[in-house]
Structure 1
Amino acid sequence: MLTDDGKHLYVSWDEYHRLIEKLALKVHASGWEFDQILCLARGGMRPGDVLSRIFDKPLGIMSTSSYRDDGGTLQGRLDMAKYITMPKGELAGRVLLVDDLADSGVTLRAVVDRLRAMPAISELRSAVLWVKGVSTYTPEYFVETLPTSPWIHQPFEEYDTMRPDVVLKRHQES
């Protein structure tokens, strides 16, 4: 649900899963065959996991982080993991790169540039749920464009500030 001021987008679990399924359908409709999925942790882990299951392809994980300041709302330095975690072998062939959104586009562009420099990758395409209007990078596959570039409140973000004592209290009350 987008707020009236266009600055915040609140996403329920049902909507979130529906968007992932729509993304899967867009990739499928393109007819592109790929060998592996690489998701960017943490935002791309849930979409990557679901797409890996739907397409029955191995899932690799690459950790990146760019939201560091002001409670995670101001973009700081981009950190990219040196190594990519794969179930077996190396990242190679035709790879679908998955994240949750193209925000500024900085992270996706940097990762795409790094991956395209890897000789073992023959083709790379990217997929996200949302592309913000301010993004300087547009993935090959996306579900929604957000022209006002709202802050997206994803359903799992409640865990960002929830600590074990809060979880314990929640379960003692139920």
Structure 2
Amino acid sequence: MTVQPSTERDHWVSWDQYHRCIEQLALQVHESGWQFDKILCLARGGVRVGDVLSRIYDMPLGILATSSYREAAGTQQGELDIAQFITITRGTLDGKVLLVDDMVDTGLTFRRVRDHLVNQFPAITELRTAVLWWKGHSQAIPDYFVEKLPTNPWIHQPFEDYDSIRPHQLESWVRKGQSN
């Protein structure tokens, strides 16, 4: 992925910047002093973030699949789907839970997921949210975030290259990468 200078409309993120944001988020949660029991990430965008936080905190990681950005090659938000089940590595979803995603855009996903969790998992005693990016037009306010983006730019994340590559294209794509 070619990282260009960010503008009010486009926020470009390299792999190094992406990993630094996750580390800053982990540090922010730590410095808050809040003790939690489980980490729940929203797939797909929150999986990498949740994985790293789970490793840093040595905490169980739960994964809840959600999907709303399917229209127009993933650039337009559609109807939100929330998976029926949560995958978690140890125990059940209970106690104090840190809900993690890459960003909060409109806030609709966070609100719906929060309602879903409260209704489906009454053993959750406290739920806080953590994201890398918080867009200014969001109707939800995350408890922890790295960057607030008041102009609501499209965030170009480093793994987006994989959105347009298909298995039959891999050989030439890998060869191209080896020549650099």
**Aligned partners of 1:107 and 1:155: how far apart in 2?**
22
The secondary structure found in structure 2 opposite 1:75 is coil
Question: Which sits farther off after the overlay, 81-90 or 17-26?
Answer: 81-90
Cα drift, residue 156 of structure 1 = 0.4
Structure-1-length-normalised TM-score: 0.95
**Residues 1:103 and 2:132 are matched in the alignment:** no
The secondary structure found in structure 1 opposite 2:152 is coil
Which residue of the other structure, out of 158, 163, 170, is the alignment partner of 2:161? 158
The 5 Å alignment of 1:4-43 reads 6-43=8-45
Provide the residue aligned with 1:44 in structure 2.
46
Structure-2-length-normalised TM-score: 0.92
**Aligned partners of 1:150 and 1:97: how far apart in 2?**
23
Runs of 4+, deviation exceeding 4 Å: none
Cα drift, residue 121 of structure 1 = 0.5
**Aligned partners of 2:129 and 2:30: how far apart in 1?**
13
Cα drift, residue 157 of structure 1 = 0.6
The 5 Å alignment of 1:66-145 reads 66-117=68-119, 118-145=121-148
Which residue of the other structure, out of 138, 146, 162, is the alignment partner of 2:149? 146
Question: Which sits farther off after the overlay, 160-169 or 59-68?
Answer: 160-169
Provide the residue aligned with 1:2 in structure 2.
6
What code does the residue aligned with 1:15 have? Q
Structure 1 gap segments, 5+ residues each: none
What code does the residue aligned with 2:146 have? V
Structure 2 gap segments, 5+ residues each: none
What code does the residue aligned with 2:101 have? D
Cα drift, residue 113 of structure 1 = 1.4
What is the number of residues matched between the two proteins?
172
Cα drift, residue 89 of structure 1 = 2.1
**Residues 1:169 and 2:172 are matched in the alignment:** yes
**Aligned partners of 1:76 and 1:112: how far apart in 2?**
19
Cα drift, residue 87 of structure 1 = 1.4
